């Protein structure tokens, strides 16, 4: 089997989260009166942790049950996270940039995916200097639906002209990343232990493997004996 495309998550997989998503969420719900002193806050935070990797606007719709409040909360979340980006609080995880280089040397195309809005995603990638290091980046707004649906993976497949979904490897730090890879029919679906969900939680979603970090991606493909376009 040949791997032509790697669909890779951002926050928690290639970018250190360091609690930034939860901090931005807390800021967002606080503006609606559901902050840390609210009776609802523990349940809201637990649900956010459970649904990490999903579309942020979708999560707010589910949590708040009101479209207008969800839009308000999502805008507050994006503003808070954008402020953290501007303050330089986001950093690449070890091995991320080396993995991008290794994949591109092998002829594997790279799509970075996220539950953030496009503007936040672009600001994050620009801050890290990654815009030119990958072939494509996608948010749910670019694809239709966020994870756990397959839309992000399949949109990357179509835009980057991979020949077969079985030539795609997906990797992410959440159950939703794994479910999206399976829903799309990706040839290899991997979890990684640098983000939101722990090993047992990820294993429960049925990945092909759970790696310690993103730096293990290309060595894992080598161990499987998978070829890439430049190894034909």
- Domains of the chain, by residue range, sit at 5-17+91-231, 20-86
**pLDDT at residue 29, as a whole number:** 80
- State the DSSP string of 77-123: HHHHHHHHHHTT---BPTTHHHHHHHHHHTT-EEEEE-SS-HHHHHH
pTM of the model: 0.85
Classify 161 as helix, strand or coil. Answer: coil
**pLDDT at residue 200, as a whole number:** 94
CA geometry: angle at 215 spanning 214 and 216, to 5°? 90
Q: Is 213 left (phi over 0), alpha (psi -120 to 50) or beta?
A: beta
Q: Which residues contact 175 (CB under 8 A, 6 or more apart)?
A: 53, 148, 197, 201, 202, 204, 205
Tokens 């670019």, located at residue: 142
- What is the full per-residue pLDDT of the chain (232 aa) written as tens digits? 789 999 999 989 999 877 788 888 888 888 877 778 888 888 878 877 777 777 777 778 887 777 888 888 888 888 888 888 888 888 999 999 999 999 999 999 999 999 888 988 998 899 899 999 999 999 998 998 888 999 999 999 999 999 899 999 999 999 999 999 999 999 999 999 998 789 999 999 999 999 999 999 999 998 877 666 766 5
Taking the alpha carbons of 105, 111, 114, 118 in that order, is the dihedral positive or negative? positive
Q: Which of 199, 164, 202, 201 is nearest to 184 (CA)?
A: 164
Residues in the chain: 232
Topology of the domain covering 5-17+91-231: Rossmann fold (3.40.50)
Contacts of 222-229 with C-beta under 8 Å, sequence gap 24+, read 224/188, 226/1, 226/2, 226/3, 226/188, 227/1, 227/2, 227/3, 228/2, 228/3, 228/4, 228/103, 228/106, 228/107, 228/108, 229/2, 229/4, 229/106, 229/107, 229/108
- As a whole number of angstroms, the distance between CA 85 and CA 128 comes to 9
**pLDDT at residue 232, as a whole number:** 58
């Amino acid at each position: 089997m040949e791997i032509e495309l790697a669909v890779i998550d951002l926050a928690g997989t290639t970018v250190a989260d360091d609690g930034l998503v939860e901090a931005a969420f807390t800021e967002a719900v606080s503006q609606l009166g559901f902050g840390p002193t609210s009776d609802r806050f523990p349940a809201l935070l637990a649900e956010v942790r459970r649904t990490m990797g999903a579309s942020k606007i979708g999560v707010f719709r589910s949590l708040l049950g009101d479209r207008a409040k969800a839009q308000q909360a999502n805008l507050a979340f994006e503003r808070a996270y954008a402020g953290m980006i501007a303050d330089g609080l986001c950093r690449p995880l070890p091995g991320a940039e080396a993995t991008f280089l290794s994949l591109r040397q092998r002829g594997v195309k790279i799509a970075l995916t996220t539950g953030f809005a496009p503007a936040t995603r672009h600001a994050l990638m620009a801050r890290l200097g990654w815009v030119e290091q990958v072939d494509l980046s996608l948010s749910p707004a670019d694809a239709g639906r966020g994870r756990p649906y397959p839309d992000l993976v399949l949109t990357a497949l179509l835009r980057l002209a991979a020949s077969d979904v079985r030539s795609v490897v997906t990797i992410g730090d959440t159950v939703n990343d794994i479910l999206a890879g399976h829903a799309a029919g990706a040839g290899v679906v991997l979890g990684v232990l640098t983000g939101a969900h722990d090993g047992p939680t990820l294993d429960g979603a049925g990945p092909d493997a759970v790696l310690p970090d993103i730096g293990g991606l290309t060595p894992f493909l080598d161990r499987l004996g998978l070829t890439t376009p430049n190894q034909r």
